[in-house]
Amino acid sequence: MKVYEKVYLILQELGGRASEGNIVDKYIEMFPDYDEAYTKTKTSSKSKIRGTINAEIVRNSLHKNIKLDKSKQPYEYYIDMDTIHKYIIVQPIGKTNTIKGFITNNSERWAESREYQKKWLQSLHSTVLFTKDKKVFAKGLITKLAVSDDDEYPLDYYYDLRLVDYIEYDKIIEYSEHKQGIFRHYELLEKEKSDRIFKYINLVEQEVYLDDIGADERFQHTLNDIVAIPSTKPIFAKNPIEQNGRRIFPRNLGYAKAAIERAAYKCEINQDHKSFISNSSQKQYVEAHHFIPLKFQDDFLYSLDVPANIVSLCPNCHRLIHFASFNEKKKILLHLFNKRKDFLQKYKIPITEEELYEIYNS
């Protein structure tokens, strides 16, 4: 690794701007095995490092992204943090490591071999996805890079780890354009592929706490920008918040879009029901309805905000299921129940016909 590459890394660590003296101190801290050439004369290693930095960056301009601010005393080196590319890194933990062992031993740091040094240098401020057995089980924002004296795995990176259960491994495969099972080594994805995955993760993390009306309005206005999330497994129910004296449960608009896409933008009561062409989606206008309403979430261990519990309805049927007499509701409830009961069981949402009627007649 060249000195100017190390300085670029150090400036990222220091928030994008630092004096030459601060850079030298950080240089020695981050690279304790700094070049032996700096210690061969009586000149202090700090002075020689300072001279090399000045020569490589100021006189020879070897790093185009590092600038010198002479208006400061002492002079400061700086980079534009907004121009730093942030990548997605896919990091399998290997066959011998268990998830439990990883969480115990690697909750803050992971190390890699020198063969990945070039990619490793680009990874600061990037997001790492940890995988095991075709499952993304944790992610973290890389906050620090360091070189250790470990012969086999000297390239350390530190992160703030968070366990996840919503990032679909198959989606990562799809957006990164790799074949399933290819992730056997440290994999830093190029910017375009990383951006696709960032967009996907940001959308699945964007849980909204809105009432039924607010959620539907937001859903319809932003439908074209929402990424459908076809969840494939049960999800534990999440906690509600208090809002204007009411308990509001989070909902993910990506699940709602997945449900109406599954129904091909048609009413699930009667596919011949017509409404109009939506300006947002340029498809038949339909509305997403939680078959078992979210206000009954406390009665279920697993989340009701999943595609299995969201049905696509035309505006008229949606109003009917909310506001009609129970006798009118009953016929369409039975129709939807027979279509959905097995799907609901798959998501560990058990309900009987009688329990459903009780909900809608309460």
Mean pLDDT is highest, among 115-124, 131-140, 188-197, 305-314, for 305-314
What is the SS3 assignment for 236?
Answer: strand
Q: What is the pTM of this model?
A: 0.48
pLDDT tens digits, 82-116: 667 788 988 888 888 888 888 888 889 998 888 88
Average pLDDT of the segment spanning 281-304: 89
- Summary count for the chain: helices (H), strands (E): 12, 15
- The label of the residue with tokens 């071999």 reads 113
Does 88-202 match 3-80 at the fold level?
no
Q: What is the DSSP string of 46-94?
A: HHHHHHHHIIIIIIS---TT-EEETTSSS-EEE--GGGS---EEEEE--
In this predicted structure, the answer to whether residue 168 has a pLDDT above a threshold of 50 is: yes
Lowest model confidence (mean pLDDT) among 31-45, 95-109, 119-133, 154-168: 31-45
In this predicted structure, the answer to whether residue 323 has a pLDDT above a threshold of 70 is: yes
Q: What's the length of the chain? A: 362
Average pLDDT of the segment spanning 254-272: 90
Structure tokens at 133: 């057995």
What distance lies between CA 7 and its chain's CA centroid? 29
State the pLDDT confidence band at 267, using cuts at 50, 70 and 90.
Answer: very high
- pLDDT score for 211: 47
What distance lies between CA 146 and its chain's CA centroid? 25
Structure-model confidence comparison of residues 128 and 62, the more confident one: 128
In this predicted structure, the answer to whether residue 154 has a pLDDT above a threshold of 60 is: yes
Mean pLDDT is highest, among 203-207, 236-240, 339-343, for 339-343
- pLDDT score for 182: 44
State the pLDDT confidence band at 339, using cuts at 50, 70 and 90.
Answer: very high
The architecture of the domain spanning 3-80 is: Orthogonal Bundle (1.10)
**What CATH fold (topology level) applies to the domain 88-202?**
ph1033 like fold (3.10.590)
Write out the E strands in the chain: 17-19, 67-69, 76-78, 88-92, 109-112, 127-131, 136-147, 155-163, 187-188, 207-208, 241-243, 246-248, 251-252, 287-290, 310-313
Average pLDDT of the segment spanning 323-327: 89
pLDDT tens digits, 53-85: 888 887 777 677 888 888 888 889 888 766 677
What is the SS3 assignment for 330?
Answer: helix
Distance from C-alpha of 274 to C-alpha of 286, rounded to nearest angstrom? 9
In this predicted structure, the answer to whether residue 214 has a pLDDT above a threshold of 80 is: no
What does pLDDT average to over the chain? 82
Distance from C-alpha of 13 to C-alpha of 18, rounded to nearest angstrom? 10
State the pLDDT confidence band at 184, using cuts at 50, 70 and 90.
Answer: very low
> How many Cβ atoms from other residues are within 10 Å of residue 333's Cβ?
19
| Cβ-based burial of 289 (10 A; exposed 0-12, middle 13-18, buried ≥19) | buried
> Residue 77 pairs with which residues in a beta bridge?
18, 68
What distance lies between CA 12 and its chain's CA centroid? 22
Structure tokens at 128: 């790492």
In this predicted structure, the answer to whether residue 337 has a pLDDT above a threshold of 90 is: yes
- pLDDT score for 123: 84
Q: What percent of the chain has pLDDT over 70?
A: 84
In this predicted structure, the answer to whether residue 160 has a pLDDT above a threshold of 80 is: yes
Pair 145, 123: CB distance under 8 Å: yes
> Which sequence spans correspond to the domains of the chain?
3-80, 88-202, 206-360
Q: How far is CA 222 from CA 86, 203, 226, 270, in A?
A: 26, 12, 6, 26
- pLDDT score for 210: 44
Lowest model confidence (mean pLDDT) among 138-142, 229-233, 254-258, 319-323: 229-233
- pLDDT score for 179: 55
What is the SS3 assignment for 284?
Answer: strand
- pLDDT score for 216: 66
